[in-house]
């Protein structure tokens, strides 16, 4: 099939979305599809740049800056993004009429105008991959208050839903959110699990043995540290276990809360905590080989379901997980049913310390590691995701 995949995240970005789309693009090409990735790319000095990427074509299309800026600027830049991408695409070596399918990835919620144009030109169906439900999660966590801003963003998101023929949500619990959409003729709703490709073999630039955490058994968190994660509970866990000289906490990544949390750890002289900037995703497997337990955190106010990409990477590496998440999240039952870790759904994390001790005591158990790896292969495989998307587009 001749396919277009639209996103605002792709390597060299290091976000979980960029990693997922990298692995998806590679797998589409491996399965013989003609894929063009259309990437929003702020800061280009020309309308587009064309690249080859592991058998796929990448068109980086000039747009305005949307990241690491104010909320107001980001809103207007993202609102303009699909129109700027469409304008840049007109100058690129790309024939929208030849497409057999249009795929796009959310976040962001603003791609509908570009999707509708591509679908109109080609007559092809559209598949929307939804990894988080925005602005609902922002309303849940207090980032957005009920009112005009929420209603505007919700209207934009629903226009994006209406542009899709198929929507793939990441977990069964999120199907209820789209129940009304799914009742309309020509709409199909399905669960499309998160995915990862084969792990890379690159050495890690972080050598734990050369850090103050040397000799300790490590809890590791690798990923975004922002409002949606509610990271303060993990730092509080480190405080509670600071007298355990055999245990340490390694936080690797970036986000709006990363610098604040690192500053708190320094001010409180938490010698069992180390913060490190994000590293190349291909270094992550080698990082995990130096650690014992993977950490997952989601703000307990979330009303929707999320299985973060970091959870998949822990499973692939054979690391059991310690999670502190919202009580209704499908991840609670998944971890319990598969026996791959421990979960706290207490909003204040009051049981987190006892669960952490249990997790660390079991870390290294070969049976748990095998269950983790088996789950990664069985449920979170990139090749299965590609086959499912293609089947959805085929109708």
Same domain assignment for residues 363 and 345: yes
Edge-first strand listing for the sheet containing 188-191: 48-53, 56-63, 34-42, 2-7, 101-106, 126-130, 166-169, 188-191
* Positions in the chain short of pLDDT 70: none
pLDDT at 93: 94
State which residues form the domain around 346: 208-378
User: 154 and 56, same structural domain?
Assistant: yes
The answer to whether residues 157 and 249 belong to one domain is: no
Q: How many Cβ atoms from other residues are within 10 Å of residue 109's Cβ?
A: 21
**pTM value?**
0.91
Rounded distance, CA 36 to CA 310, Å? 26
In this structure, the answer to whether residues 232 and 341 fall within a common structural domain is yes
Do 26 and 115 fall into the same domain?
yes
Considering the domain boundaries, does residue 129 fall inside one? yes
∠ CA 260-261-265, nearest 5°, is 120
Q: Is residue 202 part of a domain?
A: no
Report the pLDDT value the prediction gives residue 237, as an integer from 0 to 100.
Answer: 97
What is the model's pLDDT at position 16? 86
Kindly give the residue spans of alpha helices, DSSP state H, lying in 241-308: 258-267, 284-288
Phi, psi of 236 (to 5 degrees): -65, -35
Q: Are 129 and 192 in contact (CB under 8 A)?
A: yes
Task: List pLDDT tens digits, range 185-213.
Answer: 999 999 999 999 988 889 999 999 999 99
The answer as to whether 234 is a domain residue is yes
∠ Cα 299 159 145 (to 5°): 35
Residues 96 and 221 in one domain: no
Looking at the fold, whether 357 and 213 belong to one and the same domain comes out as yes
- 233 shares its domain with 178: no
Cα 243 from Cα 100, distance rounded (Å): 60
Other C-beta atoms lying within 10 Å of the C-beta of residue 70:
8
Q: How far apart are CA 293 and CA 363, in angstroms?
A: 6
Query: Looking at the domain assignment, is residue 203 inside a domain?
Result: no
Q: What CATH number corresponds to the domain at position 225?
A: 3.40.50.2000
If one counts the domains in the chain, the total is: 2
146 within some domain? yes
Q: Looking at residue 199, what is its pLDDT?
A: 85
Residues 219, 355 share a domain = yes
Helix axes 309-317, 16-30, angle to 10 degrees: 70
**Do 114 and 139 sit in the same domain of this protein?**
yes
For residues 275 and 206, give the distance between their C-alpha atoms in angstroms, rounded to a whole number. 11
Residue ranges of E strands in 199-319: 217-222, 247-252, 273-276, 293-297
159 and 44 within one domain: yes
- Domain membership of residue 200 (yes or no) is no
Considering the domain architecture, whether residues 282 and 254 belong to the same structural domain is answered as yes
């Amino acid at each position: 099939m001749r396919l277009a995949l639209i996103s605002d995240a792709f390597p060299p970005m290091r976000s979980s979305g960029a990693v997922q789309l990298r692995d998806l693009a590679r797998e589409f090409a491996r399965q013989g599809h003609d894929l063009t990735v259309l990437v929003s790319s702020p800061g280009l000095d020309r309308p587009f740049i064309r690249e080859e990427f592991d058998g796929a074509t990448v068109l980086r299309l000039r747009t305005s800056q949307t990241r690491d800026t104010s909320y107001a600027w980001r809103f207007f830049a993202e609102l303009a993004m699909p129109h700027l991408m469409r304008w840049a695409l007109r100058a690129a070596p790309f024939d929208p009429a030849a497409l057999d399918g249009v795929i796009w990835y959310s976040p962001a919620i603003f791609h509908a105008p570009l999707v509708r144009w591509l679908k109109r030109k080609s007559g092809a169906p559209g598949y929307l991959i939804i990894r988080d439900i925005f602005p609902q999660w922002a309303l849940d966590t207090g980032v957005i208050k009920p009112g005009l801003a929420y209603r505007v963003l919700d209207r934009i998101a629903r226009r994006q839903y209406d542009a899709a023929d198929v929507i793939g949500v990441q977990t069964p619990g999120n199907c209820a959110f789209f129940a009304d959409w799914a009742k309309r003729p020509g709409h199909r709703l399905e669960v499309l699990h998160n995915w990862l490709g084969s792990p890379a073999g690159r050495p890690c630039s972080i050598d734990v043995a050369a850090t103050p955490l040397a000799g300790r058994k490590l809890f590791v968190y690798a990923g975004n540290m922002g409002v949606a994660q509610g990271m303060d509970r993990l730092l509080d866990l480190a405080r509670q276990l600071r007298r355990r000289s055999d245990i340490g906490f390694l936080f690797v990544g970036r986000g709006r809360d990363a610098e604040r949390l690192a500053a708190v750890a320094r001010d409180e002289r938490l010698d069992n905590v180390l913060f490190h900037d994000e590293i190349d995703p291909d270094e992550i497997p080698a990082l995990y080989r130096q650690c014992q337990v993977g950490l997952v955190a989601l703000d307990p106010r979330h009303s929707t379901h999320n299985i973060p990409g970091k959870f998949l990477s822990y499973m692939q590496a054979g690391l059991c997980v310690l999670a502190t998440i919202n009580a209704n999240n499908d991840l609670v039952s998944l971890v319990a049913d598969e026996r791959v870790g421990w979960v706290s759904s207490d909003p204040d994390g009051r049981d987190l310390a006892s669960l952490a001790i249990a997790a660390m005591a079991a870390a290294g158990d070969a049976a748990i590691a095998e269950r983790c790896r088996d789950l990664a292969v069985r449920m979170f495989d990139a090749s299965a995701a590609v086959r499912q998307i293609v089947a959805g587009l085929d109708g």
